[in-house]
Structure 1
Amino acid sequence: MHVPDGFINAPVSAVAGVVAAGAVAVGLRGARRELGGTSRSSGAESGGEKTAPLAGLVAAFIFAVQMLNFPVAAGTSGHLLGGALAAILVGPYTGLLCIAVVLLMQGILFADGGLTALGVNITVMGVVTTVVAYALFRGLTRVLPRTRRSTTAAAFVAALVSVPAAAVAFTLIYAIGGTTDVPIGKVLTAMVGVHVLIGIGEAAITALTVGAVLAVRPDLVHGARGLAAPLKLRVDGELVDAPAAAAEPAPAAARSTRRVWGAGLAAALVLAGFVSFYASASPDGLEKVAADKGIDEKVQEHGAADSPLADYGVKDISDARVSGGLAGVIGVGVTVAVGSGVFWAVRRRRTPEAPEARTPESV
């Protein structure tokens, strides 16, 4: 659903850019809490020290999976948006920043998504998806049983709904600032229809990923913190609550994220460098609707069309498999580096500690 230059007029694109910038600013502030970088009288938010090293990886993983277009209908494909996945794994504020980093890398390096439309893309693919998905996810986890299976099911539903919500958001923006005279009712029907199908794929990818992380390291899933049921032990055929010491998680040093980080990065590199060659070549949902309804009549050439990585291929390499695979690997590497740098910087920005209250004993 990457909106190119020329779909939305300049004034509305500028307003969307301001909205996106404001959302990123809010995301930076909120991410300091999620990443454990904001000091409070009660200490940093639980689990934040684990989120920081994984946030850059989440961005890189989403970049890789977005290269895997899957068929959804005759002549139409879809790809992961990633807002729901990012929000559930690392938190809604950090998740929004993950999507913003991915979209920025795609626009600058790969000529995917217009540069003047970057604000529109961050608003539609980042803000709308993370807000809608996380709000629905949290609502479902409050009413469903507190189990891993329920958490995975909530992730599925949240991701499914987030995609047509983004389609509606794009249609509303197009109704205000579209550059062609197209019946909005028909655009809305077509966009929602195809993106419901894409949402099913999004939901499956999100649920599988969240479920996989829950199976090995539930403590690394932001949306699952506090959801685990108390640890039970079977004694003489009966289930009883485990002693507090047994129920406590292992110290952070004993539960390193290095293996998870390494496995996730390896998966992202394989997906982008090898599996992406087999992705569907059909136009995605927005491209298909744009072509069918005439939205793309005034599309403009991308400002980074001369990039050596434009269209996810390395310039001057004729072998399509090697060119696309190498571009994907470079994209994963750059995204994880930039994302990790951003999130470490955010985490290191601490607010001053409040002065300790003086007690009679300290006088």
Structure 2
Amino acid sequence: MLTVLKMIEPAFRRRLAITAAALAAYCLGTNIPLPGIDPAALAQVANQDPETITHLSVFAIGIMPLLNAMILFEAAKLLLPAIRRWEAATPRNVYRMWYALVGLSLLLAVLQAGGLATALEDIGGLVIEPGHAFRTTAIATLVAGSIVTISLMIVIDTAGTGFGLWWLFLANGLIQLPRTSAVLAVATSSGEYAAGSLLLALAFTALAIAAVVNLVLAARAAPATVHATLWTPIIALTAITPAMFTLGLFATWSLDRATDIALPGSVPWYVALAVVVALVVWLYRRSYAAAGIGFPIPSAPIIASLAAIVIGGALLEQYFAVVQPLGGTQLIIAAVVGASMLIEWRKSAQPEEQAQQSA
């Protein structure tokens, strides 16, 4: 491990350290309970579901308001390419877009915090003193936690390795990864979990990571390709349910049947998801073309890889009871971030290698 660290250029090591420190601060915040919650009731809930502590922490809404705002902005730029062209025209427009994004995310944070505070009051015995004082304190705390999370993202983007949003998006899954892996290993050794299912999970994970890393390396981490690869599965999964519900409603004129059609798990749903993935990639290509930015690789391998990973992971879970430590979307994001960092590390190491050769 020390040998590997010595191979990394000092400036890049600093950026890794800053990223690790920001993530450690985020992990610390996820373990600070929300004020006004009864510790005994919280412990009882946490015993039933250990991950509940994260949802009841000061970072309970965390990066989600910003992520939701960015999904809306991404959808707008896909449907109206002129917005991306305007944004790419000058650095000032980029800042304007960022300020609008932060403003919308803060508004969403207030709305989400209010909804969560109200929901917590509905859980009997969880809130010590329900009422206006608790809701005000909870909303202020949750919004402040969201602001701190956004600040940590900015620190990672400006002084760390970049991809601050995605590091925080992956944080909870990466934290739980050792525990989940250990549980699967114990269950497999005891016979409670089929060894074949474990092998399928490992093989799928390896193939998914290899496919995405190959895309990023082939594109030489071009920002347009990286951006589209990161956002396509999230936008597709966000859009598929309302799209299927709308189609089902027009086809059947029945709310119940339209709801059944919108639920994941059926063959038409998976086919529609593949179509939506292809459509989103095409929209990204069109949007970036309007801004004068091209994709260095064709769309077909991007569509095939993303659709196979998102749909393949869901099919393995549904039909073969395969438990994956990281879901399909998380695998894609982790692979993109890892491959991009590898390319960045190689770029930072090249000047030092050239200096050694010239000496």
Shorter-chain TM-score: what band?
under 0.3
Give 1 or 2: higher strand fraction.
1
**TM-score after normalising by structure 2:** 0.27
| TM-score, scaled relative to structure 1 | 0.27
